[in-house]
Structures are given as structure tokens and as C-alpha cells.
Chain A
Amino acid sequence: MIEETLIRAVCAAVAAMGFGAVSNPSRRSFPVIAVLAASGYALRYVLMQGGGLDIATATLLASMLIGFGSLWLGKMIHSPMTTLYIPALLPMVPGMYAYKAVFSIILFMQNLGEPTLASVYLNDFFLNVIVTVTVILCMTVGASMPMFMFSRRAITLTRNRKKH
């Protein structure tokens, strides 16, 4: 369990830096993004596998960790919270559920003549949509929570950032 958690944490860190690179983060934010993604993903994995929590609750708690981390580390490198926590959250975006929802619509349309199969695909569609929407909501609410709780600190993170 510990070894698997560590491997997944490293993979999440690399995934966050790589997917984040598309959005052109500053070079000094890469290590912070890696640390936040690794710790958040590892927490979610442990909560789901070890703690038996569902994906939404585990994601909410992991995102809160990422959010508070971005508030604390953002002050050190004078970067806005969102530029740190958005890339760190990317490995937790439920992309697979999102496109399985689209698959379910396609399969539903292809099987309109067979009510039993059609209802299975309709059920799949709702399952995948509900998971996708709930996880994205939990991710964003969890990570943004510190922004609302400590708004003064959150809006002044880029103050005194040196010119580059």
C-alpha cells in the first residue's frame, strides 16, 4: 500500500507538471505544483483505499489540502493560488468518467430498439455524469475554500513579486 501510494504520488506529480506545462506556468512554480499534486493525490488514494471513503468525499478533502498548500506556498513564490492549484488538481479531473458519459449516449442511441440495453446505457450515462459533476464540484469547492476563508491573504499573494 505504501509503495503503491508513493508510485501514484510521483505519477500524479509528473502528470500535474506535464499537463500544467500546456498552460505555461512560471518555472519556479513547477516544484510547488509537483508537491501539491503528489500530496493531494496520495491523500485521495489513501482515503479511498485505506479509509473506504467514496471518490467525492476523498476528492473534497484532497482538494482542501491542495488549496491550503497553494495558499501557503503561493506566498513564498508570490504566485496566485489558482496558478498552483489548478495544475495540481488536473490529475484528479475525472476525464474517463466524462467521456464514458458521452459513450453511454452513443450506445443508448444505437440501442433504442432494445429497451433493456437502452436502460442499461441510460443508467451508465447518469452514473458517469453524476460522478463527473460531483467530483469537479468537490475539487473546485475544496481547493477554493481557503480563498474564501483567507481572502485578504489570497488576493495579496502576488504583491511584491519581483520583476523578471
Chain B
Amino acid sequence: MHNSQKLKEITVFIADYASVLLGSGVHCTRVIRNSKRICESFGLDIKMTVFASSIILTLTDPVEDEMCTEVVVIPQVPVSFELNAELSALSWRAHDNPVAIGELKAEYEALLAKPRLDSWVVTFMVSLANACFCRLFDGNLGAMAVVFVTTFIGFRFLRLLKKNRVDHFLAVLLVSFVSSALASFSVFIDSVDANIAVATSVLFMVPGVPMITGVIDILENHTLIGFARLMRAFLIVLCLAVGLSVSMVIFQKGLL
């Protein structure tokens, strides 16, 4: 049994929980399932409508015959698989051992406050990853070294642009141009497969996560948000290709 104020408090919490989960790159069905699991621990029913940029949810107390609706904007947060797993686990803990809303909120806040991987470690790992990716496209050691350096510079530049709140699409376009332009200088080094180095220098920005979650959403009948994710991924690839093509036209007098 809940009074109106308590129902409102739980609704606001679930709205925030669901929006953060969706913003963290979780597919729709899991967001709905996890939110439902927490609501059931409070003896409540939930109905959710999920759009690409907002969520509408209504919680119902079947005993008191009360309901509360909330509309929440999905925050633009970076994808976090750890948060994804931890918030899922939180819903199971609430389901298996129901606790008061205050306690659940405190645990939720603690999870949100957990630091992400160190930015320089991530930069190093992404650079190494892209260098290895270059090898998968038959690049030689010289090309791998060039891709490592250009990815390192490009990824730091991307971070800087994001920090200064530059639009994501513009940032991808600029970074794609800078990374591929730097890689273009490898044409002067005989031991480097310059074409492979230039082509793979921007691949670290290919939006693999929205591409995959978009298809999962479509397969699970959340077609609208699935297409929205795929469209965003397509626009990122478009910006990436435009940045790359500009540098190729300038530095190599032609596209691949």
C-alpha cells in the first residue's frame, strides 16, 4: 500500500533509472523488464512507452487504485556496460530482497557515482585496438604504427571536442579529417601501406554499439527506437566518411 507521495517518489525514481539505463546503451526490452522487476518489488504495476529521446511511464497501485505518470527525457550519457550490468543486478536485488525506496535510491546513486575507466588508459587501448584492426585489414607493421599514433591523437582530439560540448556529428567529422590527414603523411614512408593506414585510421569511430542494439530493438519489436538508433549510427558513418573523403581529396587527390 502506498500513499500518493510515495507513489510519486517511486515513479520519479523508476523514470530516472530507466532513462539512465537506456542512455547507457541498453536495449529496450531489458530496460522495461528491469523497471518492471523493481516496481513489482513495491507491489506496483508499470506500463512504459519508450521513444528515442523520451520515456513515458505510468505506475499503478492496484490496492489503493492510484496511478502516477511521468515523462522523462533520456540523458545523453556515454555508453557504460558496467552501469548496464550493475543496474540490472540492482533490479534483481530489489526483486529478491525488497527494500525501502530510500535505500534503493542510495544504492543507485552510489552506482552512478562510480568512476569510469581512466581516460588515458582508454586512449591507449583504443589506439592499440585500431592498430590491431589495421592488421585485420592486412596492414603491415608500419601501417599499424601509423594507425596507433593517428588514433591516439584523434581520440584525444575527440575527447577535447566533447569536453567543449561540440556537437557529436561535427566532432566525428573533424576528428575523421584530422586522423586521416595525419595518416596521409605516411605516403612519404616506403615501408608503410599508406592506403590501408588511411582507411583504418578512422575506424575507431564506427558506431558499433548503436548498430547492434538498434537491430536487437527491431528484432524485439521496438521498431521506432531501433530505427532511431540505426539512423544515428548511419549519420555518424556519414560524417566519418565525409571527413575522410575531404582529407583524401586534399592529400591523395582521390578516394579509395
Binding site for B on A (CB under 8 A): 7-8, 10-12, 14-26, 29, 41, 78-80, 82-83, 86-87, 89-91, 93, 95-96, 98-100, 102-103, 106-107, 136-137, 139-141, 143-144, 155-156, 158-161, 163-164
Contact = CB atoms under 8 A, between A and B. Distances in A.
Interface string B209-248: 1011101100100000000000000000110111011000
Contacts of A21: 117, 121-122, 125-126, 129
B206 A18 contact: no
B250 interface: no
Contact of B125 (A18, A103, A163): A18
A79 B85 contact: yes
Contact of B212 (A18, A20, A102, A140): A140
Contacts of A139: 212
Contact of A99 (B33, B128, B241): B241
A95 B136 CA distance: 12
B92 A86 contact: no
Given A23-B209, A78-B85, A98-B241, 20 more contacts: A14-B129, A15-B130, A18-B125, A19-B126, A19-B129, A21-B121, A21-B129, A23-B25, A23-B81, A80-B84, A80-B88, A82-B213, A82-B216, A83-B81, A86-B81, A86-B209, A140-B219, A155-B33, A156-B92, A158-B88
Contact of B132 (A14, A20, A99): A14
A108 to B, nearest CB: 11
Interface of B: 25-27, 30, 33, 78-86, 88-89, 92, 96, 107, 116-117, 121-122, 125-130, 132-133, 135-137, 199-200, 202-204, 206, 208-209, 211-213, 215-216, 219, 237-238, 240-242, 244-245, 255-256
Contacts of A19: 126, 129, 133, 204, 208
B237 A137 contact: no
A158 to B, nearest CB: 4
Given A24-B117, A159-B92, A15 B132 contact: yes
B244 A161 contact: no
B26 A82 contact: yes
A11 B241 contact: no
Contacts of B130: 15, 18
A106 B82 contact: no
Contacts of B211: 93, 136
Q: Give the top 8 A-B pairs by smallest Cβ distance, nearest first.
A: A18-B129, A102-B241, A95-B206, A161-B89, A140-B215, A11-B132, A83-B81, A99-B241
23 contacts: A16-B129, A18-B130, A21-B117, A21-B125, A23-B80, A23-B209, A24-B116, A25-B81, A25-B82, A29-B81, A29-B85, A79-B85, A83-B82, A83-B85, A89-B212, A98-B237, A139-B212, A141-B219, A144-B219, A156-B92, A158-B92, A161-B85, A163-B107
A102 B128 contact: no
From B85, B200, B212, B255, residue with most partner A Cβ within 10 Å: B85
Contacts of A12: 132, 136
Nearest to B124: A18
Contact of B82 (A17, A24, A156): A24
Nearest to A141: B219
A137 to B, nearest CB: 6
Given A24-B81, A99-B241, A18 B132 contact: yes
Given A11-B135, A15-B136, A102 B81 contact: no
B96 A107 contact: no
